[in-house]
Structure 1
Amino acid sequence: MTITLPAGDGKPGLHFRSLHRERYDFAALIAANPELAEYVRHNEHGIETVDFHNPAAVKALNRALLMHHYGVLFWDIPPGYLCPPVPGRADYLHHAADLLAKSNKGTIPKRATVLDIGVGANCIYPIVGRHVYGWRFVGSDIDADALRMARLIVDANPQLKSGLKLRQQTDAANVFDGIIKRDDRFDLTICNPPFHGSAAEADAAARRKVANLTGQRMANVELNFGGRHHELWCEGGEEYFLATMARQSVRYGHQVAWFSSLVSKVDNVRGLLRELEMCNAKRVITLDMAQGNKISRVVAWTFLDKEAMAEWRDERWDA
């Protein structure tokens, strides 16, 4: 059965529980991270903002948001690594929390354990999820350097040290294989898969993004949100990655309540739904997330039938 859920509370913009629904409070953000001050300017309407084309400005803003809203004591990423926008990442978790609540008599589970596929050097999902919901996380990544940076973030932040374990994926052909252990139980898996199928495709997308932000076309561009090649593209692109995820999820259907992934392209949503039908998923849900004029999509699925989900709820959750 496939269901589409509306975005948030039905109003445009970020999820109603988001801490980012209002304009950025730059005075508070600068107080949390003074380095942000040098990047704040007034736009043509006299409104404070930052140059989102400048990677240093984006990084300073992210650090300020994480320190101010989520109690982070230290946060950094190596040059060139993905620096994803915090509000959008937080929205994914808020919608995922709603999904779990629907399986838990309307209550968001307090003791959920989440697997973050591709935690990256930034650890943003675990940071947000630990602070807002108190969830525990396992973060996997194929990049040893990213995991070393993630370890520094974990060690510097007590809330993460007590609630985030890191695991390295050693085989690029796998998503869950080699990560989910025999005794693991996850209430949710999350993923922001590589969007593109090649370096050339990722570069072309970066050029379009810069042109939209600046009105200029450039031969060489620096991504404002960064991203190493494995964070931006993989062989076969998002479609192939999602298909692999769906097929591998079957083997762990009794160990995971809900699998989920962001999906950037509408056509890939349709492809993933077909794949999950062939995999005999018991329930598939598409979550539309409204962020201004942009709609993002999360597809979630489970192999637990109604009775098995009730048993899972009674064993692990709070309702």
Structure 2
Amino acid sequence: MKNQPKKEHPTEKPGLHPRNRHRQRYNFAELISTFPALRPFVRLNEYQDESIDFSNPAAVIMLNKALLKHYYDIDRYDLPSGYLCPPVPGRADYMHHIADLLGSCNSGTVPVGPKVKCLDVGVGANCIYPIIGNKEYGWSFVGSDSESAAILSAHKIVEDNFHLKETLELRLQPHAKDIFRGIIQKDEYFDLTICNPPFHASLQEAQSGSLRKLSNLKNKRITKPTLNFGGVNTELWCEGGEEKFVQKMISESKQFSSSVFWFSTLISKSSNLKSVYTALKQAKAIEVKTIPMAHGNKISRIVAWTFLTPEQQRSWINARWVGLVSTTSAGASPV
């Protein structure tokens, strides 16, 4: 293929949160210096820019390992074959936006440190949200998952990265159809819950989505599904897809209304928002927030809800957040 003229790029990627470490274009020289194993996967693209082949699962995994080592102090990061290797910049955006939500309740100051406790529903084999949330804000995490193989992989990441041991607890969900039941214990309190729910409603739908994504990356029709970011069945699809999963989450969250300040979840499909808002109304959520997110051409949003009244919110903050001062307040400059 004939080389295209070198393309002028904006200095920052559009849409990412102001504190996201990945707003700039990837500096491959720095990443390779930190993680030399990335070097064989970096090549010049058609515009003569350094890049990787994002349709190649091995290249994507190596890029993520380099990012996690360079920015988040993760020395060893190995995932079982087929498990989701999530794109780091988008996952970081969730953590920064949800931190701003906490800050908005706290006079613009994000509460930091291990006393802030977060439940990651479906932590997966990759532990990505606890890794980022702990590095950026010092929060402690409980990660739950219904897949024993995912929990074992997550345990290995914790064991291989000593600084995670005191800030991340992993719990196997004993009943695959439950979300909070069996995980949130009696007299246990979480300042927030996060979740990246299964997107698709069937394996066939998941494979079709992968084919569309790869076809766009390759600029040609791809007929064999290959998951460049990986993903086993339970990570990618469940019966009823994202819509039914989140409806179940909302229904179950009502039973833990006084145990959690903010519940939250990603909503990838805007068409699901109507049913999500209906479910929140039926559950009698006191307050609902929708936080838009954008990463390149990908548009999504976080939906967060609480059952605490304004008075109960003030009591929660006074009991749990007083003195947890952040050097970076909500909406502040990049780190």
Asked whether the 8 Å contact 1:131–1:159 carries over to 2, the reply is no
d(CA) in 1 for partners of 2:47 and 2:166? 45
Which residue is 1:4 aligned to?
none
Once the 2 structures are TM-superposed, how far is the Cα of residue 204 of structure 1 from its aligned partner?
Answer: 0.8
Q: Which amino acid aligns with 1:71?
A: D
Is 1:196–2:192 an aligned residue pair? no
Q: For 1:76-105, what per-residue CA distance to the aligned partner results, in whole angstroms no more than 9, with x for missing partners?
A: 111100011000000000000000001112
Unaligned stretches of 5+ residues in structure 2: 1-12, 324-335
Q: Which amino acid aligns with 2:37?
A: E
The correspondence for 1:278, drawn from 275, 278, 282, is 282
d(CA) in 2 for partners of 1:311 and 1:318? 10
Which residue is 1:60 aligned to?
62
Asked whether the 8 Å contact 2:251–2:283 carries over to 1, the reply is yes
Give the TM-score taking structure 2 as reference length: 0.90
Asked whether the 8 Å contact 1:42–1:48 carries over to 2, the reply is yes
Once the 2 structures are TM-superposed, how far is the Cα of residue 216 of structure 1 from its aligned partner?
Answer: 2.4
The correspondence for 2:49, drawn from 33, 47, 50, is 47
SS at match of 2:75: coil
d(CA) in 1 for partners of 2:14 and 2:94? 15
Once the 2 structures are TM-superposed, how far is the Cα of residue 59 of structure 1 from its aligned partner?
Answer: 0.2
C-alpha RMSD over aligned residues: 1.1
d(CA) in 1 for partners of 2:97 and 2:152? 29
d(CA) in 1 for partners of 2:275 and 2:78? 36
Which residue is 2:18 aligned to?
16
Asked whether the 8 Å contact 1:91–1:289 carries over to 2, the reply is yes
The correspondence for 1:141, drawn from 127, 141, 145, is 145
The correspondence for 1:92, drawn from 77, 94, 102, is 94
Alignment map for 1:236-275 (pairs within 5 Å) = 236-275=240-279
Which residue is 1:78 aligned to?
80
d(CA) in 2 for partners of 1:220 and 1:160? 38
d(CA) in 1 for partners of 2:27 and 2:126? 22
Q: Which amino acid aligns with 1:103?
A: C
Asked whether the 8 Å contact 2:270–2:300 carries over to 1, the reply is no
Q: For 1:16-50, what per-residue CA distance to the aligned partner results, in whole angstroms no more than 9, with x for missing partners?
A: 00100001111111122111101001112211110
The correspondence for 1:229, drawn from 233, 247, 263, is 233
Give the TM-score taking structure 1 as reference length: 0.95
d(CA) in 1 for partners of 2:286 and 2:39? 50
Once the 2 structures are TM-superposed, how far is the Cα of residue 290 of structure 1 from its aligned partner?
Answer: 2.0
Q: Which amino acid aligns with 2:234?
A: H
Q: For 1:114-172, what per-residue CA distance to the aligned partner results, in whole angstroms no more than 9, with x for missing partners?
A: 00001011111011011110000000001111111110110111221010000001212
Asked whether the 8 Å contact 1:202–1:233 carries over to 2, the reply is yes
Which residue is 2:327 aligned to?
none
d(CA) in 1 for partners of 2:50 and 2:296? 18
d(CA) in 2 for partners of 1:77 and 1:137? 20
d(CA) in 2 for partners of 1:121 and 1:219? 28
Asked whether the 8 Å contact 1:53–1:213 carries over to 2, the reply is yes
Which residue is 1:157 aligned to?
161
Unaligned stretches of 5+ residues in structure 1: 1-10
Once the 2 structures are TM-superposed, how far is the Cα of residue 221 of structure 1 from its aligned partner?
Answer: 1.8
Cα gap change, 1:173 to 1:77, in 2 (>3 Å): same
d(CA) in 1 for partners of 2:227 and 2:91? 18
Which residue is 1:306 aligned to?
310
Q: Which amino acid aligns with 1:28?
A: E
SS at match of 1:166: strand
d(CA) in 2 for partners of 1:13 and 1:263? 17
Runs of 4+ with >6 A deviation: none
Alignment map for 1:213-228 (pairs within 5 Å) = 213-228=217-232
d(CA) in 2 for partners of 1:18 and 1:318? 26
